Structure 1
């Protein structure tokens, strides 16, 4: 009996160790994918100088990349259920590598849209947060929020790690070596993913981390494209989906859409050098990592709806107060803004994923993928409308005020997501029947 107990204990430790290794390699893949998002801004001036392309032509490729990033995410989650995590990750890493290499030999603007917009957009979309959602759902039953927070911070970490090196490479050598460096980084991760990643703990005869019972591997779900649309149709018939999608669209508008596109020009309107404003954005990215991990830790312990509501409310207050602290120099209030905004920037991701998991179970990764598509739509809308508002009003003050009000609305939407009561027919699931469960 003692020997059996020792064997069970040893088996449990092995299961926990492998789950963290799978999470670590997933994180590396997310970091590399995040690095690709830094390139369009770096490439803009070199491409204009070499090919005399317009900013619109270059921006088209970036727009196609962003749209495909959002649309591919839910499809990638369904493909992981059909073909497995390992195959999808390896294929995605190969796709982004091919896109980067082909971009290095292009000589026409339409090729940039094809290679960078299409191939890199598809590859990075498959390596987005739906990958993290699938891994945490399959490999962890406890610490899910913490693992989600760590993996969510990976894309920002990739930008922080690679951006200085890529910028230096472009400045000292050329833009093509920078692309080759990214391609080699992705190719280097592919064999690691092939070696370490497994689709489910049951493939190794192990239990998910924190589980007291063995969980059999679910059968592959055929028809990935059809299932992606079916899940959307089913989820769209539930109240939580629209509340989360609406809140996440506002999240995209108040982060990626406005800050990464218009913060530097807005600061420059007040006399701040663009290089200084860019440095402040980089600092926001630094605190992003800490805030996302902390949010994941809290999601394991606190009602996810409350975390979302507080995050949006604080972000809205920061937006409303931003016009009051914009100056030509970096002041103490501006540094406070940078730190707090950085902590809040991606803090919405772990609670949204947790709520998707609560309401949609095995389909949560696909549902989150569609929710993330709403995030991208919100970001794209704010990026465009922010520029329109700047032209119309001669400044960004109305934009910050409007986004502050939108964040308050997002806080109310978050609280309107009713917690699911005990039982098989909780809120949000009365009309939702998993396509995976139906077969």
Structure 2
């Protein structure tokens, strides 16, 4: 075991941890985004209404978010490696049974409940927890990289999954995702570590090796107690409120409904998936850059610009859908740069306000608001599409709420409040 006086190798082990978590979140993101590819296939095979399938996705998104604060507690109690392995095993179980479904309630159980809980364990809370444990220096950059992994998952998997679904059926696409999970599992088991002290190293930018304090309390009650404490903070509600609008305008709406919306204009599913992949490529750049910027500039002003520009792009989307591939490509690039760029400054504000030790759990509750907004958008947009025959109203509504979020972002207090100690 290394000590603080042992010569440190040129490669900080924390970067290996980042790589492992990045690869894991890529696969988890592919699972989260795959239902958008499935919508039309399930409609054709089983005759299910889009509202019913959207409801399943809504449940998955909501449970994904609700898992956040409890995931932070379980990561602290049981360790990052053990929780990552457990989540992947649950994913493999739910995916393995999916090809045999024949009714909506089975899709609810496997993709809505089990899928939501397992992917919720491997969510942004994991990235924030890893960044806070392993990094003092470059923390914002690391959060940006791990957040961008969701976009990279779409970049790598969605066009491939869409092509397999169209040519070989959606069941074979499920098996591809299972294969990726099986490949990543031994990498986590062998090389993943819970804390810098496990390799005898301080956090990058810290001077001393500090072992984590033993987890105290109940993994179910502690997140609830944390929520009770932070609910007295106006900053918490502003962060949660803006993140609610973030979820409403991203994975719940565009991540779920862009592909079927393109289908309404006779755009092939592989082409539509490629648009999402293009967004993913630009979001990888935008979110990583956002992490770098959040280490250097006022996060509130960054959020103002991110939400404002996203709102304008969503107001442009109905025109782009009717205008053809050129307009859709412009939308994909513009929107993609800003897709989840809001996460690094939001996480940074959370850490500076409530302290690094509790940042993961507090951010978990802020993520609940994000996924609540996404859940409402996922179901609501599907419902309005069935009633109105198009997605124009939900897309325009999302654009306006993003402009409102931009105003809210400027009202967040800049100074550290130590709200949990209040």
When the two structures are superposed, what TM-score results if normalisation uses the length of structure 1?
0.86
* Paired residues of 1:81 and 1:221 also in contact (CA < 8 A): no
- 1:111 deviates by 2.5
* Paired residues of 2:154 and 2:277 also in contact (CA < 8 A): no
Query: 2 CA distance for matches of 1:105 and 1:387?
Result: 25
RMSD value, Cα: 2.7
Query: 1 CA distance for matches of 2:106 and 2:413?
Result: 47
For residue 437 of structure 1, what is the aligned residue in structure 2? none
- 1:418 deviates by 1.0
1:340 is aligned, of 334, 350, 358, to 334
- 1:306 deviates by 1.4
Query: 1 CA distance for matches of 2:268 and 2:95?
Result: 28
Q: Tell me the number of residue pairs that the alignment of Structure 1 and Structure 2 aligns.
A: 417
Change (3 A) 1:60 1:326: closer
- Which of 1 and 2 has greater Rg? 1
- 1:373 deviates by 1.4
Q: Deviation string for 1:88-138 (max 9, x for gaps)?
A: 111111110111112234444322222222222211110001000100000
For residue 228 of structure 1, what is the aligned residue in structure 2? 223
Query: 1 CA distance for matches of 2:99 and 2:364?
Result: 30
2:81 equivalent to 1:86: yes
2:138 equivalent to 1:150: no
* Paired residues of 1:272 and 1:328 also in contact (CA < 8 A): no
Q: Deviation string for 1:274-333 (max 9, x for gaps)?
A: 5555543332222111111110111111111111111112222333444565543234x5
Q: Deviation string for 1:48-78 (max 9, x for gaps)?
A: 5555555455444323222211111211111
2:121 is aligned, of 126, 151, 160, to 126
Matches within 5 A, 1:71-220: 71-220=66-215
* Paired residues of 2:14 and 2:134 also in contact (CA < 8 A): yes
* Paired residues of 2:294 and 2:345 also in contact (CA < 8 A): yes
- 1:152 deviates by 0.7
Which of 399-408 and 198-207 deviates more?
399-408
For residue 423 of structure 1, what is the aligned residue in structure 2? none
Query: 1 CA distance for matches of 2:276 and 2:363?
Result: 27
* Paired residues of 1:267 and 1:328 also in contact (CA < 8 A): no
Q: Deviation string for 1:185-243 (max 9, x for gaps)?
A: 21221221121111111122211112122222221233111111111111111111100
When the two structures are superposed, what TM-score results if normalisation uses the length of structure 2?
0.89
For residue 10 of structure 1, what is the aligned residue in structure 2? 7
2:421 equivalent to 1:433: yes
Change (3 A) 1:36 1:278: closer
Q: Deviation string for 1:404-426 (max 9, x for gaps)?
A: 33222212221111112xxxxx4
Change (3 A) 1:284 1:141: same
**Structure possessing the higher relative contact order (Cα contacts under 8 Å, 6 or more residues apart):** 2
Change (3 A) 1:181 1:391: closer
Query: 2 CA distance for matches of 1:397 and 1:165?
Result: 28
* Secondary structure of 1:37 counterpart: helix
Gaps of 5+ in 2: none
* Paired residues of 1:149 and 1:295 also in contact (CA < 8 A): yes
